Amino acid sequence: MDYNKNEIESSVFRRLVAHLQENTDVQNIDLMDLAGFCRNCLGKWYKEAAEESGIEMDYDDAREIIYGMPYPEWKDKYQK
């Protein structure tokens, strides 16, 4: 097989993030119980990956990328 694995993985990641942003009724605790990770985990992994690439990133900035808005705003709007 000849394909660009990074390009495919990037596309899948973007689709996952978009899916989580669209499905705000799915709570982080539900994700943790079912999948063993949540939006905050994705934010931490995003920050770590950025830093591994030499990009300095704040955890809150990484979470904003995952949530599509600042975390406190998402929490006020959607956390049950």
Query: What per-residue confidence (pLDDT) applies to 50?
Result: 97
Tens of pLDDT, residues 14-73: 999 999 999 999 999 999 999 999 999 999 999 999 999 999 999 999 999 999 999 999
Residue with structure tokens 């049950």?
80
Number of structural domains the chain divides into: 1
Query: What per-residue confidence (pLDDT) applies to 18?
Result: 98
Domain that holds residue 50: 5-78
Is this structure's pTM higher than 0.85? yes
Query: What per-residue confidence (pLDDT) applies to 53?
Result: 96
> What CATH number did the domain enclosing 55 receive?
1.10.3340.10
Give the pair of three-digit tokens for residue 25: 């009724």
Asked if 39 and 59 touch (Cβ cutoff 8 Å), the reply is: no
Q: Is the confidence at residue 3, as pLDDT, over 90?
A: no
DSSP 13-49: HHHHHHHHHH-TTS-HHHHHHHHS--HHHHHHHHHHH
